[in-house]
Amino acid sequence: MRRARLISLVLLALAARAPASAQWSLTGDAGVSHLRQAGIPESNAQTLGATLDAAGERSAFRTSFLAAHAAGDRWTSQGLVVGSIVGPTAGAAHWQLDGVASAFGETSVVTTTSAEVAARARLGSLLRGGALGAGIGANARGAAHNPLYRAQGDAWWSIDDERLVVNMALTHTRSLFATTPTSPTPSQDISYLDLGVNWRHDAGGLSMGVGGGIRGQSESSRTKTHGWGAVDMAAWIKPQLAVTLGAGSTLDDAVRGVPHATFASVAVRIAAQRHTTIFSRTPTIAGPRIMVERAGELRRIEVRVDGASRVEIMGDFTNWTPVSLDHVEGGWRVERVIPPGPHRVAIRVDGGAWIVPTNLPRIDDDLAGPVGIITVP
């Protein structure tokens, strides 16, 4: 299992080496929550969190941290680091390697750490597709070290600003939860199957999500069924300031040692990048549209936008390196060799934020952030 941890750390390091042209975002949250969690009295808690995302053409990196200060001067905190590397596309399929490392700590409880590496085969497109894979890893609490085995599958479907994801995971490990906070961690084998559905709407200055699922768990020759559900919303009231709301319940995470909880929270989010607000009647850059057509052996890309002095484009066909367009009568143009088929793309006007052209379907890709999907003839 130590080898799985080492591989996971190597993948995280490789994924973190995003090029300078990679898309990235940094946010910080501060708020209050009504929290009920094992080991902490039900009470109001102050929360503080941060998230950093970076994505290149074939790699992605995310790190997040969340801490809560509850009644009785009790603290709970958790950190998560995720890295992904994607291989070249072969037809409609490509492979993906993921590395995950985590830590969870709670007042008067020994800290839990975990690491996992997984391989997946992805089929279909960014708009509709699925993935199958498996992973191995290990976790530790005090002197207890437990192996981890997991098989998982995902399917996704995007239409305009809506995205639906269905996931399934079969996990086998040993329980990290003790009878009392001071008792030794039991070494009891458990297996459980998780089925989940998540829907997300992201348009303009409003992002909303609803998720839920069910778990069937085998423990001590018995099978138990548990359910979970959560809702969240972020409304950008200023270009770099949002109000977030969330509520729901979670299940025990036997891999990372995080106990089940019920919560309701409100927080203020501050972002390093600018966002469209809920009060904006039009996008920050009004109506940029993109077209592509054949030009002999090349493909001609043309962007039409009013009042611009500089237009740039980047996508999977530029290795996510910004390329300047030439000003022509009626728009901005560049010609390149681009393979036919669907491609991810974003544009920037006058050095502003990278945005999606208004005439393209918009998705939040795991690797490239908000992008448009354009079909090259």
Q: How many Cβ atoms from other residues are within 10 Å of residue 314's Cβ? A: 22
Q: Which of 16-20, 188-192, 337-341 has the lowest mean pLDDT?
A: 16-20
For the whole model, what pTM was predicted? 0.70
Whether 12 and 61 have beta carbons less than 8 Å apart is answered as yes
Q: Among candidates 188, 219, 198, 112, which has minimal Cα distance to 154?
A: 198
Query: In this predicted model, what pLDDT tens digit does every residue of 86-141 receive, in sequence order?
Result: 776 555 567 889 999 999 998 878 889 999 999 999 887 656 788 999 999 999 88
pLDDT of residue 90: 56
Contacts of 322 by beta carbon, 8 Å cutoff, 6+ apart: 21, 312, 313, 314, 348
Q: Which of 22-26, 208-212, 266-270, 308-312 has the lowest mean pLDDT?
A: 22-26
Give whichever of 85-89, 173-177, 229-233, 329-333 has the largest mean pLDDT.
229-233
- CA dihedral over 261, 263, 267, 269, signed as positive or negative: positive
Instruction: Tell whether the model's pLDDT for residue 363 goes beyond 90.
Output: no
pLDDT bin (cut points 50, 70, 90) of residue 362 is confident
Q: Considering only residues 354 and 165, tell me which one the structure prediction assigns the higher pLDDT.
A: 165
Question: What structural domains and CATH numbers belong to the chain?
Answer: 2-271 (2.40.160.40), 289-376 (2.60.40.10)
pLDDT of residue 160: 64
3-state secondary structure the chain: CHHHHHHHHHHHHHHHCCCCCCEEEEEEEEEEEEEEECCEEEEEEEEEEEEEEEECCCEEEEEEEEEEEEHHHEEEEEEEEEEEEECCCECCEEEEEEEEEEEEEECCEEEEEEEEEEEEEEEECCCEEEEEEEEEEEEEECCEEEEEEEEEEEEEEEECCEEEEEEEEEEEEECCCCCCCCCCCCCCEEEEEEEEEEEEEEECCEEEEEEEEEEEEEECCEEEEEEEEEEEEEEEEECCEEEEEEEEEECCECCCCECCEEEEEEEEEEECCCCCCCCCCCCCCCCCEEEEEEECCEEEEEEECCCCCCEEEEEHHHCCCCEECEEECCEEEEEECCCCEEEEEEEEECCCCCECCCCCCEEEECCCEEEEEEEEC
pLDDT of residue 85: 85
Query: In this predicted model, what pLDDT tens digit does every residue of 276-325 receive, in sequence order?
Result: 788 865 444 457 889 888 877 788 899 988 888 899 998 888 888 899 99
pLDDT bin (cut points 50, 70, 90) of residue 353 is confident
Query: In this predicted model, what pLDDT tens digit does every residue of 249-265 receive, in sequence order?
Result: 999 888 888 888 899 99
